[in-house]
Amino acid sequence: MLKKKYTKPRKGNGIITIINLWDSFTTKQYIYLGYVFVGTNKSPYKMKKILVLFSAFIAFTSCDKLDDLTKFDMEFDTSVVIESAVNVNLPFSVQSPDVETNSESEFEFNDTRKDLIEDIRLKELKLIITTPDDGDFTFLESLEVFISAEGLEDVKIASITDVPDTVDNTIDLETFDVDIKDYIKKDTFSLKLETVTDKVITEDHHIDVETVFFVDAKILGI
């Protein structure tokens, strides 16, 4: 009776191939491939060792990919007006209207909810002068932005100092690495701009404030 000839797998097959093909297969398919690969080895010790390594690789990579599903951006736009009557070289503040977060629906859309939010931080904050048409930010000396919400103390989230004379009608502020999930989880929040000017402006400046917040949450049901 003829016995089936055992063919030893070539060096470099198996795990390396699986890693290279990760984006093309599901986790279940990889588990199946792992058992096929391990089953080609005659040594029980080697089979067990490879299976453990393979399982650890799958678990680690799957966790990373799952974790990415719980990270997303939330964008909010508002506006403020800096009036022409402001005093030069004296600090003053302007407050934006309340911004509706619609956080419940936004979190649900991203397969999470309020109690699963782990961290929210400001990712980007941009100011754009909409009127006057030829307006620019050269009148600013410095600017700090605070986030406000009912029942919470104001927290500084962005700033710019020593505004250059070459700036045009758009500026990007430096953001602060601070967790502000409690503010975004509210129904509304507002932004307060505390600023100092070093030039007189003869017209009211209407400014759009564009923000992007980075959300890290736990996925619903996991």
The predicted-structure confidence for 83-129, as pLDDT tens digits, reads as follows 998 888 889 999 999 999 999 999 999 889 999 999 999 999 999 99
Predicted confidence at residue 50, as pLDDT, reads 53
> In 3D, which of 124, 119, 141 has the Cα closest to residue 175?
124
Mean pLDDT over each residue of the chain, to the nearest integer: 79
Q: What angle do CA 77, 196, 100 make, to 5 degrees?
A: 20
Residues of the chain scoring pLDDT < 70: 1-69, 220-222
Predicted confidence at residue 48, as pLDDT, reads 56
Predicted confidence at residue 218, as pLDDT, reads 86
Predicted confidence at residue 85, as pLDDT, reads 83
Q: What SS3 state is found at 119?
A: strand
Predicted confidence at residue 39, as pLDDT, reads 47
Predicted confidence at residue 45, as pLDDT, reads 53
**Strand-pair partners of 100:** 188
Token pair listed for 206: 């209407």
Q: Are 180 and 120 in contact (CB under 8 A)?
A: yes
Q: Are 193 and 80 in contact (CB under 8 A)?
A: yes
Predicted confidence at residue 4, as pLDDT, reads 43
Q: Are 120 and 179 in contact (CB under 8 A)?
A: yes
Predicted confidence at residue 18, as pLDDT, reads 39
Predicted confidence at residue 49, as pLDDT, reads 54
